Structure 1
Amino acid sequence: MHADPVALHELLGPLPALCRRALTGEHGVSLPPLTDHHVHLHLIDEHALPAGGIAGVLDLGGDPVGFARRAADAMPRVAYAGAFLTAPGGYPAGRAWAPAEIVREISDPSAHPGVPGGAATAVDEQASFGASVVKVALNAAAGPVFDAVTLDAVVAAAHGHGLPVVAHVEGDGMTRLALEAGVDVLAHTPFTEALDAVLIARAVSAGQRWISTLGIHGDEPPAAATATANLAAFAAAGGRVLYGTDLGNGDRRVGVQVEELAALDRAGVRGEALLNALCDPWPAAAPAGVATFIPGAPPRSLGDVAEWLGAATVVPTEELIDDDH
């Protein structure tokens, strides 16, 4: 390969490196392991993820018991929220894709352990099964949501365990409700309301992270436009963006989503920023012993990056030989 490492680093920053695979001699580019920060493993074939370029995932709604039984070194590496925490009758309770074991309805803001329907009881359960984050549903478009007192209690209980809180926000005022309660991460870029610059600046100042999931709006142009504008403003203001696809929502390839990457690019998350969103292992450590390999020549322009990343696969780190000289 006659690729120029200087040009590659100028285009994409310090993460990529020219390399070749020891067993095959195939040339390409290596990256740190890629993470999809929003998946639902019970709805997809998780075993196809590494071949599709994804080494780590954050499951944002599943059976906490099942996750606790996973082998720690299984691929992909999985961090998880455990069950959705929601208001009585709130989203996603009752949905065909959301069996009872993945939903906990909270009816009492009690901070005392063991209270039926209590905020601390639900959070304690997820923590006891090894959750890395706590997920709350604030979907006012699909049913009841927590009042501020109950949401504050959930956030306080999670933070008491050292766990960040991730919120699905949908409907007018839900982004503000999450921000005022101290929610750490949004599971989706807000897509039902255009956010003003003041609210976005508050989110950035608070250190809030947003998981992208722009690609789920392909059949809904108004939602796509709103999400893209919100994410562009958040990123431009210095907000921390994480790549996430809501994989399991719809029939899509299991692996890197080129459409999501292209949508991020259109929102101004390009080049080095795009790789940072993909390679950030939050909320866990990066998977050990593996790397990303993208065969062939590196991209020549920012417009080529999304399609190029679609060829990524996960390989053992020891299989890659540095060719970056």
Structure 2
Amino acid sequence: MHADPFALRDLVGPSARVCRRALTGESGVSLPPFVDHHVHLHLIDEHRLAEGGIAGVVDLGGDPVELARRGDGLPHVAYAGAFLTPAGGYPSGRGWAPDAIVRPVTDPSDHPGVPGGAATAVDEQASFGASVIKVSLNAAAGPAFDAAMLDAIVAAARVHGLPVVAHVEGEGMTRRALDAGVDVLAHTPFSEALDTALIARAAASGQRWISTLDIHAADPAAARTGSANLAAFAAAGGSVLYGTDLGNGDRPVGVLAGELTALDVAGVRGAALVDALSDPWPAAPVSGVATFVPGPTPRSLDDVAGWLSGATVVPSEELIHDDH
């Protein structure tokens, strides 16, 4: 066990506390609850998330009716409801995307109740308790919203005080999202190498990027592009959120070692990596539980990503802190 809590905090940030579990006596470190900021609950076994270290999730594309019926408990869930997309746009027609999770938007109207209207689609998600609005800007896989339609959706979200998150893919889509004031990118841009000025502008605007780098493990070109874009964004002071797109591919449920490693390689290391994992966006922090990482503590920055992959979720009251 690393005996010096101050050295530990130099590596992983001020929230780290040496502790032991009251019931088992197992030693380790407590950290704030971890959140996966991009999942699709209808495609995964959510009951395994807590034992795998994830206390909260953000569902970025699901049936708003089913999501609104959820009760309390773990994982804590914030959600966008359905994808807002042009008629025939991504992810319409995909096997993993039933009609219930897609809302075509064909009219920029800000009047409620207009069929296919921007305000109508946003109002529906808000009425079912959405914490964020999800838009598809995927010019690589079908039609994408033009600037006017995207502006109308963002304006409708602002009426409800909700942030907007966008799936950006294809030439120029990151710029379009930034121009419209989109708050968060659901994926680190991976389909185009972004210029330094655009990345600096995104960081300065306060836009956040959800990492989702591990989904490109089988696509070296996308992996390189995404990693380079995220490294430049983080170096420019951009805010990075840990997210995996769980449900995309056959991957373990919980904290993903591959995502942690990819973030570390992109320069999101140590305390910055913990911050990306524990940021509660877009909801209030998860209460009553903590992240527990058992065993010896990391001795260098190079150890942190692998060490965090051993996290689990425990009740806060179960932890006895030793770093007085």
Q: Which interval holds the TM-score relative to the shorter structure?
A: over 0.9
Q: Partner residue of 2:237?
A: 238
1:3 deviation in Å?
Answer: 2.3
Q: Partner residue of 2:40?
A: 40
Q: Do the aligned partners of 2:2 and 2:299 also contact (CA within 8 Å) in 1?
A: no
Q: Partner residue of 1:299?
A: 298
1:15 deviation in Å?
Answer: 1.5
Helix, strand or coil at the partner of 1:10: helix
Q: Partner residue of 1:110?
A: 109
Q: Once superposed, which parts of structure 1, at least 4 consecutive aligned residues long, lie more than 6 Å away?
A: none
Q: Write out aligned runs for 1:5-24 (5 A).
A: 5-24=5-24
Q: Do the aligned partners of 2:165 and 2:185 also contact (CA within 8 Å) in 1?
A: yes
Q: Do the aligned partners of 2:216 and 2:223 also contact (CA within 8 Å) in 1?
A: yes
Q: Write out aligned runs for 1:95-174 (5 A).
A: 95-174=94-173
Q: Write out aligned runs for 1:281-292 (5 A).
A: 281-292=280-291
1:190 deviation in Å?
Answer: 0.2
Q: Do the aligned partners of 2:2 and 2:298 also contact (CA within 8 Å) in 1?
A: no
2:192 paired with 1:198: no
Q: Could you tell me the percent identity over the aligned residues? A: 76
Q: Using the alignment, how far apart are the partners of 1:153 and 1:173 within structure 2?
A: 19
Q: Partner residue of 1:278?
A: 277
Helix, strand or coil at the partner of 1:219: coil
Q: Using the alignment, how far apart are the partners of 1:184 and 1:285 within structure 2?
A: 17
Q: Do the aligned partners of 1:291 and 1:315 also contact (CA within 8 Å) in 2?
A: yes
TM-score, length-normalised on structure 2?
A: 0.99
Q: Do the aligned partners of 1:28 and 1:296 also contact (CA within 8 Å) in 2?
A: yes
Q: Using the alignment, how far apart are the partners of 2:28 and 2:18 within structure 1?
A: 6
Q: Do the aligned partners of 1:232 and 1:267 also contact (CA within 8 Å) in 2?
A: yes
More divergent stretch after superposition (301-310 vs 162-171): 301-310
Unaligned runs of 5+ in 2: none
Q: Using the alignment, how far apart are the partners of 1:27 and 1:302 within structure 2?
A: 21
Q: Partner residue of 1:4?
A: 4
Q: Using the alignment, how far apart are the partners of 2:214 and 2:33 within structure 1?
A: 21
TM-score, length-normalised on structure 1?
A: 0.99
Report the AA paired with residue 183 of structure 2.
D
Helix, strand or coil at the partner of 1:163: coil
Q: Using the alignment, how far apart are the partners of 1:226 and 1:83 within structure 2?
A: 28
CA displacement, residues 145-185 of structure 1 (integer Å, 9 cap, x when unaligned): 11111110000000110000000000000000100011000
1:2 deviation in Å?
Answer: 5.5
Q: Using the alignment, how far apart are the partners of 2:113 and 2:183 within structure 1?
A: 25
Helix, strand or coil at the partner of 1:234: helix
Q: Using the alignment, how far apart are the partners of 2:205 and 2:306 within structure 1?
A: 33
Q: Do the aligned partners of 2:2 and 2:297 also contact (CA within 8 Å) in 1?
A: no
Q: Partner residue of 1:25?
A: 25
Q: Partner residue of 1:54?
A: 54
Q: Using the alignment, how far apart are the partners of 1:107 and 1:314 within structure 2?
A: 43
1:305 deviation in Å?
Answer: 1.3
Helix, strand or coil at the partner of 2:221: helix
Q: Using the alignment, how far apart are the partners of 1:293 and 1:207 within structure 2?
A: 30
Q: Using the alignment, how far apart are the partners of 2:246 and 2:322 within structure 1?
A: 34
Q: Do the aligned partners of 1:44 and 1:254 also contact (CA within 8 Å) in 2?
A: yes
Report the number of matched residues: 324
Unaligned runs of 5+ in 1: none
Q: Do the aligned partners of 1:3 and 1:297 also contact (CA within 8 Å) in 2?
A: no
Q: Partner residue of 1:310?
A: 309
Helix, strand or coil at the partner of 2:298: coil
Q: Do the aligned partners of 1:83 and 1:135 also contact (CA within 8 Å) in 2?
A: yes
CA displacement, residues 10-55 of structure 1 (integer Å, 9 cap, x when unaligned): 2112021100000111110000000000000000000000000000
Helix, strand or coil at the partner of 1:303: helix
